[in-house]
Amino acid sequence: MNDTLTIWTKKFMTNRSLQWKQMVMDVLHPGKAMVPETEIWEKLAKMYKVTPDVTFLFGFRTHFSGGKTIGFGMIYDSLDYTKENEPKHRLARHGLYEKKETSRKQQKELKNRMKKARGLQRPMLCCQKERLQIHR
Amino acid sequence: MAAPEVLESDLPSAVALLKNLQEQGLSLLEVKDQLLLMYLMDLSHLILEKASGGSLQGHAAVLRLVEIRTVLEKLRPLDQKLKYQIDKLVKTAVTGSLSENDPLRFKPHPSNMMSKLSSEDEEEVEAEEGQSGASGKKSANGTVKKYVPPRLVPVHYDETEAEREKKRLDRAKRRALSSSVIRELKEQYSDAPEEIRDARHPHVTRQSQEDQHRINYEESMMVRLSVSKREKGRRKRANVMSSQLHSLTHFSDISALTGGTPHLDEDQNPIKKRKKIPKNSRKKKGFRRRR
């Protein structure tokens, strides 16, 4: 942990209906490049006395000539609420969500085949691949 | 003497009248009437006294006069408030009907807005109205229809080449008037005290204001806005302008005022006609400033 890392929080607001606390964060890191996210999680968690897995950060922009970065942070009330309310790409940064790696080309081909089929033929096409796998 | 008999006969009717008055209360006009009469009586009494050589010192009538006068003056604002109504009533009484340009004639008639079940009702109602054609809104809607907003008449776009040229000249003139050359001339010849300000180029101040606006928006909405190419160019130019000594040697074009031909500095881009670019970048609703 860098000793010279300072975090100021501004515009703190509690959102009761979405169960989070949001704020604007000023990260001061004089003489260094921007620190990795994990360190800021821990620092924020210590400040607000929560675990680092409910802290989420985004939108960090470093000012010209370095030293200062401004971004946004959110602290959730509990892990269940984060799974409900947080967008998937941010959950993925914490490892709580895995994005499905489907081939884009295959998806488009399937879609075009489905356009040609009519009525109940469509779900047959959709499940065709899985059926083939099961049979094997 | 006949006085007691007269009094006796008059008493019951007087009592009845009084009771009547007390039940309904005195109207302002009646009170004023009575007060004015009493004033006149006291005044004439005093004049009589004076004419027959008496002194008015400490006379009871004087005190009564003063009292009546104060009450009348206190009633004056009430009078003001009722003036309009009284005038109208008097006019109606005198002329016998409402005047032609009386605005009350054009009051809306809610009965006209109700649906008419049969045409006979319509005729009856119209006969009742009587008066001239300027009588309120008339609607003959039987059923409740969907509200269709009125289509405004489109106006023909008539801007000729000459008008466009004139507009362009006007704009160039305005820009020239606010250039540094003209401003310095103004300062030289005006009598107003000289103001010393933090002198930055107006483009630079404008850009810094816009930047501040953007930052405020981003921080309050907790989103990051994308910067278009045009914005990036403007920002870069503003930064460059503040670091160079540009304004020392480059002066803006005041040919619109002097009547000469518009000339450009060597390092400026030639004036291009702007292409119509589709404005798809209005996604962030709240951010665009209403200029």
Domain boundaries, chain B: 14-97
Give mean pLDDT, residues B136-159. 70
CB within 8 Å: A24 and B223:
no
CB within 8 Å: A11 and B223:
no
Report chain A residues touching chain B, CB-CB < 8 A: 10-11, 22, 24, 59, 61, 72
Residue B276 pLDDT: 57
> Which of B218, B222, B224 is the closest to A22 by Cβ?
B222
pLDDT band with cut points at 50, 70 and 90 for residue A125 = confident
CB within 8 Å: A24 and B224:
no
Is 60 exceeded by the pLDDT of residue A48? yes
Residues of B in contact with A59 (CB under 8 A): 218, 222-224
* Residue carrying the six token digits 């409740």: B144
CA angle B26, B29, B33 (to 5 degrees): 100
> CB pairs under 8 A, 24+ apart, for B142-146?
B142/B115, B142/B116, B143/B115
Q: State the smallest CA–CA distance between residue B182 and chain A in angstroms.
A: 37
**Dihedral over alpha carbons B159, B161, B167, B168 (to 10 degrees):** 140
B258/B255 Cα distance (integer angstroms): 5
pLDDT band with cut points at 50, 70 and 90 for residue B254 = confident
- What is the residue-wise DSSP string for B242-283? HHS-HHHH-----HHHH-------TTSPPP-PPP--------
Nearest to A71 by CA among A25, A7, A12, A8: A25
Q: Which residue of B has its CA nearest to A26?
A: B219
Which residue would you say has higher pLDDT here, B240 or A21? A21
CA angle B43, B44, B48 (to 5 degrees): 120
What integer best gives the mean pLDDT of chain B?
Answer: 78
Residues of B in contact with A22 (CB under 8 A): 222
Give mean pLDDT, residues B229-252. 83
Residues of A in contact with B218 (CB under 8 A): 59
Which residue would you say has higher pLDDT here, B4 or B149? B149
* Token representation of residue B258: 């002097």
Residues of A in contact with B224 (CB under 8 A): 59, 61
Do residues B127 and B119 touch, judged by C-beta distance below 8 A? no
**What number of C-beta contacts closer than 8 Å exist between A and B?**
12
Is 90 exceeded by the pLDDT of residue B7? no
CB within 8 Å: B219 and A11:
yes
CB within 8 Å: A59 and B222:
yes
Give mean pLDDT, residues B268-286. 58
Q: pTM of the prediction?
A: 0.49
pLDDT band with cut points at 50, 70 and 90 for residue B283 = low
Residue A16 pLDDT: 93
Residues of B in contact with A10 (CB under 8 A): 219
B130/B124 Cα distance (integer angstroms): 10
B198/A107 Cα distance (integer angstroms): 61
Is 50 exceeded by the pLDDT of residue B140? no
| Alpha carbon A66 to chain centroid, angstroms | 25
- What is the residue-wise DSSP string for chain B? --HHHHHHHHHHHHHHHHHHHHHH---HHHHHHHHHHHHHHHHHHHHHHHHTT---TT-HHHHHHHHHHHHHHHHHHHHHHHHHHHHHHHHHHHHSS--TT-GGGG---HHHHSPPSSHHHHHHHHHHH-S-S--S-----SSPPPP-PPPPPPPP----HHHHHHHHHHHHHHHHHTSHHHHHHHHHH--SPPP------HHHHHHHHHHHHHHHHHHHHT------HHHHHHHHHHHHHHHS-HHHH-----HHHH-------TTSPPP-PPP--------STTTS---
Residue B264 pLDDT: 65
